[in-house]
Structure 1
């Protein structure tokens, strides 16, 4: 029994010693792993610091840059030149005189048409003849009525004169004389009224003659004999005077302060391959509630190829300077200090790229106006600047 107890105690002691040895090995392994991770982290940090110092040294140490391979770039010399900014818009050709012919009266049934589409007509030329039968009868009746009244007036005057002669000889009564004079006055007033009625009837008769109120080309003739003519555009005559043409465009309201009457305009009509120079001749006095813009007009010279409603490209010159420094807009870069370009300067025997802070002005197309930071004669990097850094050696030869 005692030997059995001793054996059990011995086994327990052996197991305890083995367990303690295993824990010690695990602790040592974890410690080594931790030390390895720490060293790797320190190595990465040192490597980053070394690379950073090498880059800074490459930028600052010119002797080191000599050994560096120069980067191939394309350079351009800055010079003073004229610069113009345009507002590019779309417009249309329009005519000063586009007239839709209408009757002077209520209109009527068409009896004859005296114009064809494409025909040139003069101001006052007869275009249509409307039904005038009833109006003409009214004129004839009015004239006949006045002729009868004139006969009555002649008789009344003769009676009055005889009565007056008798009255001068103290024959007859004063009442007879006054009655004869009244008859003359009434008939004279009646004739005046009839004359006015005749003028009205003749004016009504004239309205049956539809004439052109302008000179131009009959662009549309949409009326035929037997139809009712009221002057509606869909059933009438359109006269276009192409001697006075203009281009009309809608300008956004934010350009209101930059455009005025007399502003130069370059007009291109692509459909006829023509370009015209003009000036703003009219600016509307209100802003459209729908387009948030205002209308601007510019006259164009007479041209047989120009037609109303042709599409036109309108370039309004809102800024121009004869002495400007400009650069390609794609060379402009930005950092925390602002806008800059890379210029090439001579340092020792090398051409070195340097950052140059600039102040910019207007942009049109691919050219950007430079207000400050560059001057005539400076050399800028126009291609290959994307990966350049300040101080890097550059070359224009492969």
Structure 2
């Protein structure tokens, strides 16, 4: 019984300590916030009183020591926002060589990887032994059919035999000729030709293998005369990127930049990457190769006369965003708070919509810890 009472008293004590601890913490937080508020109010009031006293008695308060800062004058200038993406270069025309028929066993290969290929060039020779045998047989049958037709025609000219016999003999000749035409076409199909000009980028077939035109076991021809830059754009830019949007394509490997435009803008959002496809046509350049890495900058916003500031100079307080500018008051340079409305950010440059204008002197270094109205200097 006594042990139960002791446990109950211990639990009550712990709860009391936790409650007191929580209450004490909240009390200290409130006291700290109050002191901070009092400090700000006090410092502001001190500065005001010092100004007022100085106006009445310049000897009453020791001269204020100015704080060293670095400033820069603001001016309006063009401002452009880009969407920076990583893409690559692709060929407009990529052709996978396929046979005209069902394919067959490779007997000879007339191209190797990296060769320049012209349209109509013979690339492969497929096995044609069976077709040759069938063609020889068909030619023998044609000779036989022609001989029979000639005999039947001579008899018909002598009024011997029937018209049906003559027509049948003529049809046999026609059928044999058609069969030879089919076999000759099949024989031509054993020669695989290039249908486009370009570079034999891949040759993944060997003599003795069966050629069916599979991309994994065949020939790929890339036409490098027409290239494009491609990239995936996040879907939140769907309304800002359109066909015709200016694009800078930077190829770091060859240290070149090309100005082009979006030529294709996809409307389908990829469910996995939440992005859409864009491409831009590239100019002809011998140094550009398919699959090169490309840094793609899409211009989605531009202003001809914007006011911009270094983004690190922007500060926040309970009233919102502000910057500090240098203002000359009665021959003395003082820091002044300027509430601002911000726009787009690109790199280190932040666009300002309201609050600043050309000619304002922005404090870009030493602004940390400055208060509104503090005496400053730009030189020791």
TM-score by length of 2: 0.83
Q: 1:121 aligns with which of 90, 95, 117?
A: 117
* Stretch moving more, 136-145 or 256-265: 136-145
Match of 2:144 in 1: 148
Cα deviation per residue 1:139-162 (whole Å; 9 max; x = unaligned)?
222233233222322333333333
Match of 2:330 in 1: 348
Q: Distance in 2 between matches of 1:51 and 1:121?
A: 79
Q: Distance in 1 between matches of 2:128 and 2:359?
A: 84
The CA deviation at 1:123 is 0.8
Q: 1:336 aligns with which of 315, 318, 326?
A: 318
Q: How many residues align?
A: 339
Change (3 A) 1:275 1:143: same
Q: Distance in 2 between matches of 1:218 and 1:287?
A: 34
Give the 5 Å matches for 1:265-280: 265-280=247-262
Match of 1:75 in 2: 71
**More helix per residue: 1 or 2?**
1
Kindly indicate whether residue 310 of structure 2 is the aligned counterpart of residue 321 of structure 1: no
Match of 2:375 in 1: 393
Match of 1:287 in 2: 269
Runs of 4+ more than 6 Å apart:
48-51
Q: Distance in 1 between matches of 2:341 and 2:40?
A: 34
Q: Distance in 1 between matches of 2:179 and 2:234?
A: 57
Q: Distance in 1 between matches of 2:39 and 2:108?
A: 101
Q: Distance in 2 between matches of 1:250 and 1:380?
A: 39
Secondary structure, aligned partner of 1:291:
coil
The CA deviation at 1:59 is 4.6
Q: Distance in 1 between matches of 2:38 and 2:272?
A: 61
* Stretch moving more, 310-319 or 110-119: 110-119
Q: Distance in 2 between matches of 1:132 and 1:49?
A: 100
Q: Distance in 1 between matches of 2:310 and 2:316?
A: 15
Q: 1:306 aligns with which of 275, 278, 288?
A: 288
Q: Distance in 2 between matches of 1:159 and 1:128?
A: 50
Q: Distance in 2 between matches of 1:290 and 1:161?
A: 81
Measured on the aligned residues, the alpha-carbon RMSD in Å equals: 2.3
Q: Distance in 2 between matches of 1:154 and 1:61?
A: 132
Q: Distance in 1 between matches of 2:49 and 2:241?
A: 51
The CA deviation at 1:107 is 1.7
Match of 1:90 in 2: 86
Kindly indicate whether residue 350 of structure 2 is the aligned counterpart of residue 368 of structure 1: yes
| Alignment gaps of 5+ in structure 2 | 1-33, 55-60
Match of 1:101 in 2: 97
Match of 2:133 in 1: 137
Residues 59 and 391 of structure 1 are in contact (CA less than 8 Å); yes or no, is this contact kept in structure 2?
no
* Stretch moving more, 53-62 or 290-299: 53-62
Cα deviation per residue 1:282-335 (whole Å; 9 max; x = unaligned)?
122311121111111112222222221111111111111211111111111122
Match of 1:56 in 2: 45
Q: Distance in 2 between matches of 1:51 and 1:223?
A: 80
